[in-house]
Structure 1
Amino acid sequence: MAGKQKFPVALTIFLVVICLVVGSVIGVAGAAGYDALTFTSDEAPKALVQGEMQIHFLELGNKYTGDCTYIKAGDVDILIDAGSKTSSIGVISEYINQYVTDNKLEYVIVTHAHQDHYAGFTQLDGSLFDLYEVEVIIDFAKTKQTPNGSSNMYGRYLLERAEEEEAGADHFTAAEWVEEHRGVDGKPGAVALGDSGVTMTVLDSHYYYEDAPSENDYSVCTLFTYGDYNYLFTGDLEEDGEEYLVEYNDLPEVDLYKAGHHGSKTSSSAALLEVIKPKRVCVCCCAGSSEYTDTDANQFPTQAFIDRVAPYTSAIYVTTRCEDYDAGIFASMNGNITVVTTAAGIEVICGSGDYRVLKEWEWFREHRTWPANGK
């Protein structure tokens, strides 16, 4: 009898706490003026709700800019790139192991042969290929790199990829995948990702077939679609390649765009942006790092990138910032960024617990200018 009397009290307290938490989250999101609720957390969500799609942009555990995106679509696990260094392998695997419960990656997409994108696949006896069973590998059709056995990174990548193929993985270059999945209209065809409701399209690109001015233009480009939502990934594709991307594909307006080439001045061109009109942009970089240039305006994310993207959205999120490159000091901005799509809409979860968009950061006010025509 005593137990029955205690239960309603405990339940009442629990419900009151839940109401207070939900109310405060809604209030914060509303005050921030976002078009969808933006949640914050000290870590990414651990539970995948049925009917959800999650896209995770990872911090990589060092001061170097690089790309690694993990996508969860129902029971299908996808890894796009694995930068920035081989030292990032442990960081990546620890993170995605929260979600990859069967030690299997249905798709690995390697956009191009630059260390900051594929280092995690190149370590002999310990690469991500060694740590996971991979069903399908899709990678760049061309490269300027020359393999030299185990003596260089590209050679080690080929060795590790070959081992994964011997273990049962199917390998396609982007050109081969596009040709095999073309629709009757000649355009690249979408592939269903299990029964998740998500489709993946490897987009067509001029530089899958022709020599490119830079390694970046060999990047594998993909479009994911979930209901009416679209998500675009272009690797490090630069302006010339983006113009061909628009010409070769029927690109939709997108709800999420992973900033091309880490927010470089050479990518996210007007020709691409005026077609895709991104609602949200995620930038994988160490903001303000002198890794590639000492010119402030050209450090990622560049002023030129901001000038071009700002007219479409202010919802720009950045993983990491560099505090002192020479001393190796870096810190999270938005941290590991998770974009979650459900029937209710899109939510952005910032693993650092700080959900400020780029233009609200002190770093931005000190180093960048928001254009007058920006949103």
Structure 2
Amino acid sequence: MFKKILIFSLIVTLLFSLAGCSLDTTNFNQVQSETQNSTVQSKDGILKVYFIDVGQGDSIFIESPDGKTMLIDAGVPEMGKKVVDYIKSLGVKKIDILVGTHPHEDHIGGMDYVINNFDIGKFYMPKVTTNTKTFEYVLNAAKNKGLKIDVAKAGVSLDLGPEISAKMIAPNGTKYDDLNEYSAVIKLNYGDTSFLFTGDAEAESEKEMINQGYDLKSDVLKIGHHGSYTSTTAAFLDAVDPEYAVISCGKGNDYGHPHSVTLKKLKARNIPVYRTDECGTIVATSDGHSVSFNVKPGDYVPGQRN
């Protein structure tokens, strides 16, 4: 058993060393996807962010105006095929940047399936390991495809084209008691609009980001840890000051996500909340000046999930 764990750890080291809603038809632009050189063509200055409904988990797909693509997380193992099929339905053949925010099953569970079904450019995960089969499957998929794993950490810049600024602003530390705090957090700017993708980052990481003096202000905040009370502190929410909030969670999940404490904070600030358990897949569109959504918050109608 010790020998097996030792071999597993060596593999990890080697890899790192290579190192309620209704349709909003007013604002929703139907996806028109064509491919060129294995990437999506420019959408006339349009950035699209797809918060894919993967139940109790996270998966966010991004298409930049220059046709570059990024996938952040891929849900639980059972959702791998759904994520792949959804992205392929957009006409995408290559994922330029793949990010596993942290090694929990509801974030990287479907990632091996993604790796096996797409041409992958850069692949990032934080430098932390777990002894789970899910994590092992992802490492093996990367190894079998000859993919190097780059370390996800604060300060890493991501190439989504000259019109986009995308940078990791967490994790800022190297040792945490909770795996969630290792979450890769990405700030994306396009023109006058901005998005903050937080994975499952909790209070400790949020405090570090504030103390680092990062510009956290964002139009759209992907709420941390599926709306848990352990994330989205008042200080962090004040620093981000979002116009919109998106929560990725499963309907009737066993964790009670999103928690009422978090929802009350958002309501007190009059921030519209888009939830995948109510809306299904949520598509945010930016022209560089404003952000629109394919659904309306708080108007969930049964049968309209994507």
Task: Settle same-fold status: TM greater than 0.5.
Answer: yes
After superposition, the Cα gap between the structure-2 partners of 1:100 and 1:217, relative to the gap in structure 1 and judged at 3 Å, is farther
2:31 maps to which of 33, 42, 45: 45
1:67 maps to which residue? 58
Residue 302 of structure 1 aligns to which amino acid in structure 2? H
1:285 maps to which residue? 249
Answer yes or no: is 1:274 the counterpart of 2:238. yes
> Where do 1:178-189 residues align within 5 Å?
178=154, 188=155
Determine the C-alpha separation between the residues in 1 that align with 2:288 and 2:135: 42
Does the 8 Å contact 1:38/1:348 carry over to 2? no
Answer yes or no: is 1:77 the counterpart of 2:77. no
2:115 maps to which residue? 129
2:78 maps to which of 72, 87, 107: 87
2:51 maps to which residue? 57
Determine the C-alpha separation between the residues in 2 that align with 1:236 and 1:343: 27
Following TM superposition, by how much is the alpha carbon of 1:215 offset from its aligned partner in structure 2, in angstroms? 1.2
1:109 maps to which residue? 99
Answer yes or no: is 1:141 the counterpart of 2:127. yes
Q: Deviations over 1:340-361 (max 9, x none)?
A: 00145211013xxxx2x23x55
Q: Deviations over 1:274-307 (max 9, x none)?
A: 1011110111112442x23xxxxxx111101112
1:303 maps to which residue? 260
Determine the C-alpha separation between the residues in 2 that align with 1:87 and 1:159: 18
Determine the C-alpha separation between the residues in 1 that align with 2:58 and 2:193: 22
After superposition, the Cα gap between the structure-2 partners of 1:159 and 1:251, relative to the gap in structure 1 and judged at 3 Å, is same
Does the 8 Å contact 2:193/2:289 carry over to 1? no
2:144 maps to which of 142, 160, 163: 163
2:5 maps to which residue? none
Does the 8 Å contact 1:77/1:100 carry over to 2? no
Following TM superposition, by how much is the alpha carbon of 1:38 offset from its aligned partner in structure 2, in angstroms? 5.5
Determine the C-alpha separation between the residues in 2 that align with 1:157 and 1:130: 10
1:340 maps to which residue? 285
Secondary structure at 1:91 match in 2? helix
Does the 8 Å contact 1:82/1:89 carry over to 2? yes
Secondary structure at 2:286 match in 1? strand
After superposition, the Cα gap between the structure-2 partners of 1:303 and 1:132, relative to the gap in structure 1 and judged at 3 Å, is same
Higher relative contact order (CA 8 A, sep 6+): 2
Normalised to the residue count of structure 1, the TM-score between the two structures is 0.67
Determine the C-alpha separation between the residues in 1 that align with 2:156 and 2:149: 18
> Where do 1:194-209 residues align within 5 Å?
194-195=161-162, 197-207=163-173, 209=174
After superposition, the Cα gap between the structure-2 partners of 1:128 and 1:159, relative to the gap in structure 1 and judged at 3 Å, is same
1:316 maps to which residue? 273
Number of aligned residue pairs: 271
Answer yes or no: is 1:230 the counterpart of 2:187. no
Task: Give aligned-pair identity as a percent.
Answer: 22
2:180 maps to which of 197, 201, 216: 216
Q: Deviations over 1:228-274 (max 9, x none)?
A: 21100110011112111211241231100001001111111112111
Does the 8 Å contact 1:282/1:316 carry over to 2? yes
1:242 maps to which of 198, 206, 209: 206
| Structure 2 alignment gaps of length 5 or more | 1-22, 34-41
Residue 261 of structure 2 aligns to which amino acid in structure 1? A
Give the CA RMSD over aligned residues.
Answer: 2.4
Q: Deviations over 1:156-195 (max 9, x none)?
A: 221112223x1xx4421113xx4xxxxxxxxx36444224
Q: Deviations over 1:311-365 (max 9, x none)?
A: 3333110112xxxxxxxxxxxx212100000145211013xxxx2x23x5599xx
2:221 maps to which residue? 257
Q: Deviations over 1:121-158 (max 9, x none)?
A: 24xxxx11010011100111224x126xxxx2222221
Determine the C-alpha separation between the residues in 1 that align with 2:31 and 2:219: 21
Determine the C-alpha separation between the residues in 2 that align with 1:232 and 1:199: 12
